[in-house]
Chain A
């Protein structure tokens, strides 16, 4: 049992850092501009990240499973740890980083180490989604911004009421954002443990089934929620007052656009609907919520006639696509070697 807990700890740590960093994308501006209290934001994001992870987390996670079926708990531990260390190291170095990109790199590192061929079609689908997701987020934000602007200008809503509506809107999109984050990103945290899950399915009186994967996602979700409660406040203050200084109304647009983006890359239900209508469906892939936010901010800059467009940020996104997975893959490969040859643990079967 202690060994299981130990091996899961790297995923839990990754979950914690996801909660600490990415919840700020959802509620950062709302908290920093004092529209919503941190406690409210933390409770809502914690609860809905868990709900999103348990209910809709399977889609994006299974894609990671297809990329590399990490089949030993010790291997999964190293893969998640390598991703977590990469995230930590790149964050400390002030480089943009995404858990999605770090975990994909770490899985590829495992594939190399275990001589498992990497499905290049799937990999290109994943990397294609990374490139496309900020663009989609920018398009949605661009359209939404014009819509919201027109509504506000034409409706002559009093500033007081507009403030009240904005506050409610920020809470609603924040909940949706937390749900989407849980659904899309839980795979990064717990996906690699699926094939070596130590949990057993639980069935309550033959009606309610709580699968081992859902139990894993619950653990991951709680880790994310813990990250939100313990560390996200200061990140929220940075997001809200530093890098992207947004007004509450533009924050509403940014959060909604990035949440929709996360959602479309995570929802099995939406995928089924689009497929049944013979429409092209979005692949279920873990994407970077931070890059979706940057995309949305760029969309708004574009809507304002390129005002405040930060081209360096665009460059950072592109660096993240390559540097993060490469660094994580190398680290994963080296760590797997040590785990196998120094600590004598099977990292693949």
Chain B
């Protein structure tokens, strides 16, 4: 019996670790993709877009497998709802990352030089938020006391991302270089979508904090 539990729980442990690795990778691909687009490397950008599309469907499959195993082998009945809640909201991060790159790929907005640094910084902050939320999720599984530490970091990066987003939007809408108002709207929306990655990360963190309190013995 012990062997059965151990085998199943070990398999799930590695599935969950693999899932979390994929979320981190999604954040990194997203960052590289935005960087490539903003700096005009279109081929590299399209490759990153393909990568993240493949990764998105892969994470969906892994998540479904984890869900199936959690329920069919009666594993962690007490907290499996929480575990699935975390995995599903983490999946939203991957979805948003993919949607941002898809938006750039379809709409191909023109990024003016004066806003490049802000776009790069915004993507970088969102990527950092993703990394830290994944660290927080790992802590939830292994070292519950550390969760709040990562939650704080995510909140910090989300706040910074909000500031950059606002600054970028002000620059866009006050710019005389961009003639069309529709273009301004489009760029503002792009900035919002990039910042969304950190917003979703923060939402995951809110869940993590609550579940961590519940799990404390």
Contacts and interface: CB of A to CB of B under 8 A. Distances in A.
Given A158-B9, A167-B5, A34 B142 contact: no
Contacts of B5: 164, 167-168
A249 B141 CA distance: 15
Interface stretch (A78-86, A149-157, A219-227): A149-157
B140 A159 contact: yes
Interface string B1-35: 11001101110110010000000000000000000
A248 B75 CA distance: 13
Contact of B217 (A34, A149, A164, A167): A149
Nearest to B146: A156
B54 interface: no
Given A160-B75, A164-B6, A249 B12 contact: no
Given A34-B77, A35-B77, A249-B217, A158 B1 contact: no
Contacts of B74: 34
Interface in B86-111: none
Contact of B77 (A33, A145, A149, A153): A33
In the complex, which of the residues A145, A157, A160, A249 has the most CB atoms of chain B within 10 Å of its own CB atom? A160
B167 interface: no
B16 to A, nearest CB: 7
Contacts of B140: 159
Interface in A163-178: 163-164, 167-168
A152 B217 CA distance: 9
B78 interface: yes
Contacts of A156: 142-143
A153 B6 CA distance: 20
Interface string A176-188: 0000000000000
Interface in B112-149: 140-145
Given A164-B6, A247-B217, A250-B217, A159 B77 contact: no
B145 A163 contact: no
B6 A161 contact: yes
B167 to A, nearest CB: 40
A148 interface: yes
B79 interface: yes
B185 interface: no
Q: A interface, by DSSP: helix, strand, loop or mixed?
A: helix
Given A148-B217, A249-B217, A161 B9 contact: yes
Nearest to B7: A164
B78 A159 contact: no
A21 B5 CA distance: 30
Contacts of A168: 1-2, 5
Given A156-B142, A158-B141, A159-B142, A33 B78 contact: yes
A158 B145 CA distance: 13
Q: B interface, by DSSP: helix, strand, loop or mixed?
A: helix
A159 B79 CA distance: 9
A247 B78 contact: yes
B71 to A, nearest CB: 11
Nearest to B138: A158
Contacts of B6: 161, 164
A145 B76 CA distance: 20
A148 B140 CA distance: 18
Contacts of B190: none
A167 to B, nearest CB: 6
A153 B143 CA distance: 7
A163 B6 CA distance: 10
A255 to B, nearest CB: 14
A195 to B, nearest CB: 44
B199 to A, nearest CB: 26
Given A168-B1, A250-B217, A159 B76 contact: yes
Contacts of A160: 9-10, 12-13, 16, 75-76, 141
B195 interface: no
B16 A157 contact: no
B145 A157 contact: no
A60 B83 CA distance: 46
Interface in B139-177: 140-145
A142 B82 CA distance: 28
Interface of A: 33-35, 145, 148-149, 152-153, 156-161, 163-164, 167-168, 247-250
25 contacts: A33-B78, A35-B77, A35-B78, A153-B143, A156-B142, A156-B143, A157-B142, A158-B142, A159-B79, A160-B9, A160-B10, A160-B12, A160-B75, A160-B76, A161-B6, A161-B10, A163-B9, A163-B76, A164-B2, A164-B5, A164-B8, A164-B75, A167-B5, A168-B2, A250-B217
3 nearest A-B residue pairs (beta carbon):
A164-B5, A34-B77, A160-B9
Given A34-B74, A247-B217, 8 more contacts: A33-B77, A35-B78, A149-B217, A153-B145, A160-B12, A160-B141, A168-B5, A249-B217
